[in-house]
């Protein structure tokens, strides 16, 4: 009998099955993820999620008997029934007569399980990326990547290259004629046989004996693995080019933006923020909010604080330009911007605003996304003002969002890797 | 102190452990004590044991991948895992204390959370009881090969993985999905294709053949124009050209076997995957047929062993109380109108019947002598039980050994249900005229062949339109669940590659009732 402690075995043995399962249910899970986004508060976007799916593709059918027909069965616990008594059937699906329902096919219940945060976000941002990430520049190498660079004769045991080592060992053993165990056994057998057969010629015996001894000696002298054989994998640390990118988030916080519109805009930026921090570790994010004046704020203020006032969009463009010129030279950085607004702007600012966007901001940017939140009953000033740009500038995109469940599709649309731009 | 107490108890031993915590030393002590009683007193015949201690997560993992220590990868296992995990975390379900595998050596998984007493009980239950049953029951002997199963699973796992690498996840998944859907139809009920170690070795041959082909692969051949595929196709199929169902060995109840051998469009590796699923279905079939006896046997054995250990002073009173508490929870049978009722508890029924046999052997009543003249009062309970464990399955065991006493104890009563009536009718109760009826009905309930739909491949037209026909012999007007049936048939059509028809005919009158059809989607 053996007792084995398996508790220390590698965890997540079922990971492969889980991945296959998630892949299989991807469509349904994505829908569920999207659903769940509606219910979530802005602040809890980055956590795991309990997912409820009703997945056709997860169903495992088999030939089972239906409910119709006749059957006999036996139950325990008869209290006072006698032959001929009748018992009304429990209503459909209402538990009760246990064994009566057991053989039937199982219904398609909702399937509930929990996605980890990683899985949740992976699914969430699958196939998304920043478009036109072209300006590649060699930055100082803070995290050089190890790259395979041949073999070396010394190193830590963990890096031993077994194939190379054994190849050397084999070559050396052949070259030095290291006898195999069979050779030795054979020599010994021959000696034994000679002795058994009453071989009297001392000379022959001595020869055989010497041969056996020599083989044994040789085997001792030529080791199976010699320090000379050892080869180790060698790694070199190579600096990797890192693409630098910055994302400007511009949000209108004026009085015309109601709480629910702000919430919509914040959700969008929240998504953008998580997406960027997750997939592009080197991306800087600049938060700019504006009313009639614009200011750069930190993440916390951007998402949480409330302030009101009029609307002058060009102020935000000015602020963006200032920050960009100060910190993000256009020849070194990939610049992105996303703007959210309810479509209202000071009428007198409109011409200047469009001009700035067209001449100053868009040429700087790799990609510019404009999100208009609100019901969009009639065309807003900004929408009609920006529309011509969309046709002219290939890297300018604008979308409407009127309810939380549209955010994810719009987001997906704007950043899907199969770019339509 | 210790010495005087030992003397006072005479031959009684020291308790093996007193604390609830177990260590590997107590585990070893407990095992040795349990094995001694099992082998010497109960004279059990067991495979060598291998005890493995595992965590809750590992237990979840083990029983979501069909309880085997290694298994190929498939999304359905991931699905069950996710499901079990969710209900386990919410506290809706507790985990099994142990899991035992019919292999040689017999692998027993013990949960780390178990107390020392529980570990002892579980060792007695699984490492003795189940182990003895696996080694001696005729179904397991006939159908499973405990020596080869682990090697076979290792082969299956690596084969599926290689196929995934070679042909892509989706391709492999499609075949496995379809094969899983037909798993219940992948069993041969008559011993026609015995699973010997020789047929297991065939798997290795198959692999070697493929390796050889790869080793001798010469890229030059690629440049030689190929024969046209269709002209080549039919040659691979036995019995092609005449479509004679006799040549194909029809009717065939093992649908997976039939597809593996005769489906015209499957590639070799796809056939191999079908074979793997079929082999597993066959391996698990005896467990389905002996669930009640197997659990009854294990429960009976642990009850005997724990009592003996207590008698000998190897267990403290506290431990014994804990063990009895566990035992009674396991063998509890709620009445049919109880909220906890979920069918007959196989542990309860099995244990009760085996205790009853013991009673009949040692201390029979007049009724027992009349019902069981063969062994009533023979004084050899263990011998009688061992004979039952070796030579019966659930169905025949109930037919042979269910006594009026047990029927009365459980207050079993028989009912008849017709889906057209609004009420079910009581047909038998525990009285003189009802005993035999109840016994027969219950036996049929435990007959796997009776509970599954009787579906056979009845015709395959290999020369003409290549349509495959299956027939469901409908008993008691019980048709297939339509939606499920259609979906499964779709899987079947994918494997067959051409139109598939399922006829539902009355088993007695042979009158056709319904027809389902499916076409493969390319």
Which pLDDT belongs to residue A141?
Answer: 44
- The pLDDT-based confidence of A342 (bands split at 50, 70, 90) is confident
Which pLDDT belongs to residue B321?
Answer: 93
| Per-residue buried b or exposed e for B159-174, using 16+ beta carbons within 10 Å of the residue's own CB | bbeebbeeeebebbbb
Smallest Cβ distance to A5: which of B53, B412, B480? B53
% residues pLDDT > 70 (chain A): 80
Q: Do the domain assignments include residue A96?
A: no
Smallest Cβ distance to A1: which of B49, B423, B429? B49
Cβ B145 vs Cβ B157: under 8 Å = no
Domain boundary among A185, A211, A234: A234
Same structural domain, A276 and A385? yes
Q: What's chain A's Rg over C-alpha atoms?
A: 37
Q: Do the domain assignments include residue A104?
A: no
The span from the CA of A298 to the CA of A140, in Å, is: 26
**Looking at A78-118, which runs of residues are DSSP E strands?**
86-88, 111-115
The rounded mean pLDDT for chain A is: 78
**A45-59, A332-346, B340-354: segment of lowest average pLDDT:** A45-59
Same structural domain, A259 and A192? no
pLDDT 10s digits, A154-182 = 888 888 999 999 999 999 999 998 988 88
More confident residue, A26 or B48: B48
**A51-60, A68-77, A124-133, B244-253: segment of lowest average pLDDT:** A124-133
Same structural domain, A268 and A386? yes
Q: How many domains does chain A have?
A: 3
- The pLDDT-based confidence of A104 (bands split at 50, 70, 90) is very low
Q: Which residues of A touch B415 (CB under 8 A)?
A: 72-75, 87
Domain extent for A49: 15-56
Same structural domain, A317 and A376? yes
Which pLDDT belongs to residue A56?
Answer: 63
pLDDT at B290 over 70: yes
Per the DSSP assignment, residues forming a β-bridge with A16 are none
Which pLDDT belongs to residue B10?
Answer: 41
Judged by CB atoms closer than 8 Å, whether chains meet at B480 and A66 is answered as yes
Same structural domain, A229 and A312? no
The span from the CA of B262 to the CA of B86, in Å, is: 42
Question: A17: how many CB neighbours lie within 10 A of its CB?
Answer: 24
The span from the CA of B30 to the CA of B28, in Å, is: 5
More confident residue, A197 or A417: A197
Q: Do the domain assignments include residue A357?
A: yes
- The pLDDT-based confidence of B60 (bands split at 50, 70, 90) is confident
Which pLDDT belongs to residue B58?
Answer: 84
CA distance B221 to chain A (A): 32
The span from the CA of A413 to the CA of A405, in Å, is: 13
Judged by CB atoms closer than 8 Å, whether chains meet at A2 and B51 is answered as yes
Which pLDDT belongs to residue B231?
Answer: 40
More confident residue, A352 or B307: B307
More confident residue, A272 or B32: B32
Nearest C-alpha in B relative to A18: B78
% residues pLDDT > 90 (chain A): 4
Domain boundary among A34, A56, A78: A56
* Helix and strand element counts for chain B (H, E): 23, 9
Domain boundary among A197, A213, A234: A234
Which pLDDT belongs to residue A136?
Answer: 53
Q: What is the mean pLDDT of residues B61-84?
A: 81
**Looking at A95-231, which runs of residues are DSSP E strands?**
111-115, 136-137, 145-152
Per the DSSP assignment, residues forming a β-bridge with A65 are B480
Same structural domain, A277 and A385? yes
Q: Please give the DSSP secondary-structure letter assigned to residue A160.
A: B
Q: Please give the DSSP secondary-structure letter assigned to residue B252.
A: B
More confident residue, B313 or A89: B313
Q: Do the domain assignments include residue A81?
A: no
pLDDT at B468 over 80: yes
pLDDT 10s digits, B483-504 = 888 989 999 999 999 999 999 9
The rounded mean pLDDT for chain B is: 84
Q: Which residues of B touch A22 (CB under 8 A)?
A: 78
Q: Which residues of A touch B341 (CB under 8 A)?
A: 77, 98
Same structural domain, A309 and A357? yes
Q: Please give the DSSP secondary-structure letter assigned to residue B272.
A: H
% residues pLDDT > 90 (chain B): 44
Q: Do the domain assignments include residue A203?
A: yes
- The pLDDT-based confidence of B233 (bands split at 50, 70, 90) is very low
CA distance A45 to chain B (A): 21
Does the CB of A94 have a partner CB in chain B at under 8 Å?
no
Dihedral angle, C-alpha B113, B119, B125, B131, nearest 10 °: 100
pLDDT 10s digits, A379-402 = 788 888 888 888 887 788 888 888
pLDDT 10s digits, B373-385 = 999 888 899 999 9
| ipTM value | 0.77
Does the CB of A56 have a partner CB in chain B at under 8 Å?
no
pLDDT 10s digits, A235-278 = 888 776 667 778 888 888 877 777 778 778 887 887 787 777 77
Same structural domain, A401 and A297? yes
3-state secondary structure of B469: strand
Count the helix, strand and coil residues of chain A and give each as a percent rounded to the nearest 5: 45, 20, 35
Judged by CB atoms closer than 8 Å, whether chains meet at A18 and B411 is answered as no
Q: Which of B 222-251 lie inside 8 A of A, CB atoms?
A: none
Q: Do the domain assignments include residue A339?
A: yes
């Amino acid at each position: 009998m053996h007792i084995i402690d398996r508790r220390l075995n590698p965890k997540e043995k079922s990971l492969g099955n889980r991945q296959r399962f998630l892949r299989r249910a991807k469509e349904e899970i994505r829908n569920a993820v999207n659903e769940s986004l509606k219910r979530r508060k802005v602040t809890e976007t980055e956590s795991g999620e309990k997912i409820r799916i009703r997945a056709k593709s997860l169903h495992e059918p088999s030939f089972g008997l239906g409910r119709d027909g006749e059957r006999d069965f036996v139950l325990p616990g008869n209290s006072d029934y006698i032959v001929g008594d009748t018992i009304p059937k429990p209503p459909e699906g209402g538990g009760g007569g246990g064994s009566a329902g057991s053989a039937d096919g199982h219904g398609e219940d909702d399937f509930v399980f929990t996605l980890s945060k990683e899985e949740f976000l992976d699914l969430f941002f699958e196939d998304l990326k920043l478009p036109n990430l072209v300006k590649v520049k060699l930055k100082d190498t803070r995290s050089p990547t190890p790259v395979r660079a041949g073999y070396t004769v010394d190193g830590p045991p963990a890096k031993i290259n077994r194939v190379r080592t054994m190849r050397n060992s084999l070559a050396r053993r052949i070259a030095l004629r290291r006898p195999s165990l069979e050779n030795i056994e054979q020599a010994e057998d021959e000696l034994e046989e000679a002795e058994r057969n009453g071989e009297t010629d001392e000379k022959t015996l001595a020869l055989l004996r010497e041969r056996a001894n020599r083989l044994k000696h040789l085997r001792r002298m030529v080791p199976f693995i010699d320090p000379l054989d050892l080869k180790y994998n060698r790694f070199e640390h190579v600096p990797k080019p890192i693409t630098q990118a910055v994302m400007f988030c511009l949000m209108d916080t004026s009085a015309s933006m109601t709480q629910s519109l702000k919430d919509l805009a914040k959700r969008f930026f929240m998504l953008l923020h998580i997406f960027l921090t997750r997939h592009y570790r080197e991306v800087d994010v600049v938060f700019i909010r504006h009313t009639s004046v614009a200011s750069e704020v930190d993440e916390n203020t951007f998402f949480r604080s409330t302030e009101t006032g009029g609307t002058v969009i060009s102020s935000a463009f000015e602020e963006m330009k200032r920050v960009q010129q100060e910190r993000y030279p256009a020849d070194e950085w990939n610049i992105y911007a996303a703007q959210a607004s309810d479509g209202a702007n000071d009428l007198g600012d409109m011409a200047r605003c469009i001009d700035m966007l067209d001449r100053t901001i868009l040429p700087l940017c790799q990609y510019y996304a404009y999100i208009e939140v609100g019901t969009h009953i009639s065309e807003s000033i900004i929408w009609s003002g920006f529309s011509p740009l969309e046709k002219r500038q290939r890297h300018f995109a604008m979308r409407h969002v009127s309810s939380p469940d549209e955010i994810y599709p719009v987001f997906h649309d704007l950043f899907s890797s199969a770019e339509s731009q | 102190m210790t010495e005087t107490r030992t003397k006072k108890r005479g031959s009684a031993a020291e308790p093996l452990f007193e604390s609830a915590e177990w260590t590997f030393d107590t585990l070893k002590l407990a095992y040795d004590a349990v094995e001694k009683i099992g082998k010497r007193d109960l004279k059990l015949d067991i495979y060598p044991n291998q005890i493995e201690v595992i965590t809750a997560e590992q237990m979840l993992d083990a029983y979501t991948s069909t309880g085997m220590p290694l298994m190929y990868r498939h999304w359905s296992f991931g699905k069950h895992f996710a499901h079990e995990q969710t209900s386990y975390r919410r506290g809706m379900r507790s985990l099994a204390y142990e899991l035992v595998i019919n292999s040689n050596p017999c692998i027993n998984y013990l949960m780390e959370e178990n107390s020392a007493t529980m570990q002892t009980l579980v060792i007695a239950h699984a490492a003795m009881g189940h182990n003895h049953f696996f080694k001696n029951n005729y179904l397991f002997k006939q159908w499973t090969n405990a020596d080869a199963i682990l090697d076979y699973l290792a082969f299956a796992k690596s084969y599926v993985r290689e196929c995934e690498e070679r042909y892509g996840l989706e391709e492999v998944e499609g075949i496995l999905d379809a094969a899983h859907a037909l798993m219940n139809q992948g069993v041969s009920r008559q011993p026609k294709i015995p699973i010997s170690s020789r047929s297991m070795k065939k798997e290795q041959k198959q692999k070697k053949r493929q390796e050889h082909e790869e080793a001798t692969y010469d890229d030059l051949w690629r440049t030689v124009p190929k024969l046209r595929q269709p002209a080549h196709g039919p040659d691979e199929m036995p019995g092609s050209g005449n479509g004679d169902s006799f040549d194909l060995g029809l009717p065939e109840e093992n649908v997976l076997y039939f597809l593996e051998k005769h489906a015209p469009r499957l590639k070799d590796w796809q056939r191999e995957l079908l074979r793997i699923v079929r082999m597993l279905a066959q391996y698990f079939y005896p467990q389905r047929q002996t669930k009640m006896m197997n659990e009854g046997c294990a429960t009976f054995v642990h009850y005997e062993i724990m009592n003996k250990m207590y008698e000998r002073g190897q267990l403290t009173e506290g431990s014994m109380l804990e063990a009895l508490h566990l035992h009674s929870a396991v063998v509890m049978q709620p009445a049919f109108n109880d909220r906890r009722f979920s069918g007959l508890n196989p542990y309860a029924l099995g244990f009760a019947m085996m205790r009853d046999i013991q009673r009949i052997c040692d201390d029979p009543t007049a009724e027992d002598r009349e019902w069981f003249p063969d062994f009533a009062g023979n004084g050899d309970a263990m011998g009688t039980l061992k004979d039952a464990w070796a030579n019966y399955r659930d169905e025949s065991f109930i037919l042979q050994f269910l006594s009026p006493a047990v029927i009365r104890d459980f207050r079993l009563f028989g009912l008849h249900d017709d889906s057209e009536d609004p009420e079910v009718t009581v047909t038998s109760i525990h009285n003189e005229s009802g005993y035999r009826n109840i016994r027969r009905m219950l036996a049929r309930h435990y007959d796997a062949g009776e509970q599954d739909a009787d579906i056979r491949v009845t015709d395959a037209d290999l020369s003409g339109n290549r349509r495959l026909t299956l027939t469901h012999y409908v008993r008691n007007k019980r048709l297939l669940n339509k939606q499920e049936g259609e979906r499964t048939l779709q899987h079947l059509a994918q494997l067959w590659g051409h139109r598939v028809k399922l006829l539902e005919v009355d088993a007695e009158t042979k009158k056709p009732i319904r027809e389902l059809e499916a076409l493969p989607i390319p």
